[in-house]
Amino acid sequence: MTRSNYIFLLFISLLFIAGISFPGQIRAQRILGALSVGANLTQVDGDDFYGFHKVGLNVGPMIIVPFGKNKNWSVSMELLYSQKGSYHKGGQDSLYSYTFRLEQDYAEVPLLIHYTDKKLISGGVGFSYGRLVNYKETRNKFYDTLYQYQNDLSKQEFSVIADMQIRIWSKLWVDLRYQYSMVSNRKVVIDNPFVYSTPKTRDQYNNVISLRVTWVFNQAKIEKLPVRLNNVE
């Protein structure tokens, strides 16, 4: 799947969500449409460096299906363009300085189940399937001597997700998400004499923190809750 194909699919999905969200459509629509926009802070566990230094996009449409007696539970499915990877730069000596950037662009389909309390705060867990649509790796000669990849970067990713959302205004939610690969994306032998006495084999995993805002198009507006500071009934 090329990047242009994914962008086309994303565009069609947005049109679909807009179509079910206009006023005048069925008011009792059980399927909610939403759009999330935000950023990923990522690192690759197993690259022998640490820190969420790589910043990327996290954007895409979502459908939400509430269920349960009070509609506190819901299942959601998303179609995301999600940028992951790793970025490291350091070392003052020209002989041992290193610069490395790994860019991984995924078309992702997360599936989550949420519980929402008082229509204000929501927590969820789930899984995601990702397909690598673009990949670029930039590194200098020092990094070439440090790593020996044992296999190609996997085109597929399966990951687990934990998600927390807070409703801040009308139909607008703030979303904090943590995501981690369930299966190794690549195996590498690290030959770093400054750290290991002998070369060490490591499996690599994507480690992602996402901060997003989500607008739920056809969600009922929340009613103002009464504030009673002195209840003397």
Does residue 227 lie within any of the structural domains?
no
* Interval 92-106: pLDDT, tens: 555 555 678 889 999
Does residue 8 lie within any of the structural domains?
yes
Does residue 232 lie within any of the structural domains?
no
Residue 22: predicted pLDDT: 46
Does residue 225 lie within any of the structural domains?
no
What secondary structure, in 3-state letters, does the chain show?
A: CCHHHHHHHHHHHHHHHHHHHCCCCCCCCCCEEEEEEEEEEEEEECCCCCCCCEEEEEEEEEEEEEECCCCCEEEEEECEEEEEEEEEEECCCCCCCEEEEEEEEEEEEEEEEEEEECCCEEEEEEEEEEEEEEEEEEECHHHHHHEEECCCCCCEEEEEEEEEEEEEECCEEEEEEEEEECCCCEEEEECCCCCCCCCEEEEEEEEEEEEEEEEECCCCCCCCCCCCCCCCC
pLDDT in tens, the chain (233 residues): 555 555 545 554 555 555 444 444 444 447 899 999 999 999 999 887 788 999 999 999 999 999 888 889 999 999 999 999 999 876 655 555 567 888 999 999 999 999 999 889 999 999 999 999 998 988 766 666 677 778 888 999 999 999 999 999 889 999 999 999 999 999 988 777 666 777 888 899 999 999 999 999 988 776 554 444 444 44
Domain count, the chain: 1
Does residue 222 lie within any of the structural domains?
no
Residue 47: predicted pLDDT: 83
Output the six-digit token pair for 223: 């009613």
Question: What range defines the domain where residue 149 resides?
Answer: 3-18+31-216
Does residue 72 lie within any of the structural domains?
yes
| pTM of structure | 0.80
CATH number at residue 195: 2.40.160.20
Give CA–CA dist 9/202, Å, rounded. 36
Does residue 163 lie within any of the structural domains?
yes
Does residue 25 lie within any of the structural domains?
no
